[in-house]
Amino acid sequence: MEQEFKNTVITLYKQNKWKEILDLDNEHMEPFAKNILWVWPSLENFDFMKKLIIENGLFGLTSIGCGCGLLEWMFKEYSNLNVIGYEINREWWTSKYSVPMFIDHIYSNQENKVELNSKYALLFCYFNDRMAFKQYVRNYNGSLVLIIGPGEGRGTHTDPQPFRPNFEGNSWVLYDYQEVKNTKDFIAAYIKH
């Protein structure tokens, strides 16, 4: 079942059918879907993210901890914006055991001190490393951070959480948010004061 689901996604990816992947009935596929992507957004969610990027005068999206990059690839195809994905553990991702990669990775160094494009929004989707989050945000001179993760009652864990990001200092303020379909996962957008 899991392999079947993965194969369907890969086949559609090869045919460039991002919309069909977005429309897959992943609700019944959990937890298989999670091996590829933790949240399965809607077109409305993509509209919301694109609007946020454009109205803040930005040109693209940098996703930290993008995993296999399926969300990032679909968003890129949908939006025509540039999308960059950062990961760690090159050995794993380039091994025969890893799930397929849908976008190219940039691999972070140990201290997560990477140069981040300030004209791109910064995305953390189901990210789970507080110290790394802090370091990436310190390195980012742009104005828009998107956090996707669980809201109240979802029963999953991320760090940062969309509504408890615990930024250092108080220059980041909540700008807007939207639920991912009716999953209790949320996309929260923070802008710099």
Ligand X SMILES: C[S@@+](CC[C@H](N)C(=O)[O-])C[C@H]1O[C@@H](n2cnc3c(N)ncnc32)[C@H](O)[C@@H]1O
Give the footprint of ligand X on this chain (CB under 6 A). 37-39, 64-67, 86-89, 108, 112, 125-129, 132
Angle between helices 2-14 and 70-79 (to 10 degrees): 30
Of the pair 109, 170, the CB lying nearest ligand X is at 109
**Closest CB 92 distance from ligand X, rounded Å:** 8
**Closest CB 137 distance from ligand X, rounded Å:** 12
162: preceding bond cis by omega (within 30 degrees)? no
Of the pair 38, 48, the CB lying nearest ligand X is at 38
**Closest CB 57 distance from ligand X, rounded Å:** 25
Of the pair 126, 172, the CB lying nearest ligand X is at 126
* DSSP E strand stretches across the chain: 60-64, 82-87, 105-107, 120-125, 144-150, 172-179, 185-192
Fill in the DSSP letter of residue 181: T
**Closest CB 169 distance from ligand X, rounded Å:** 21
165: preceding bond cis by omega (within 30 degrees)? no
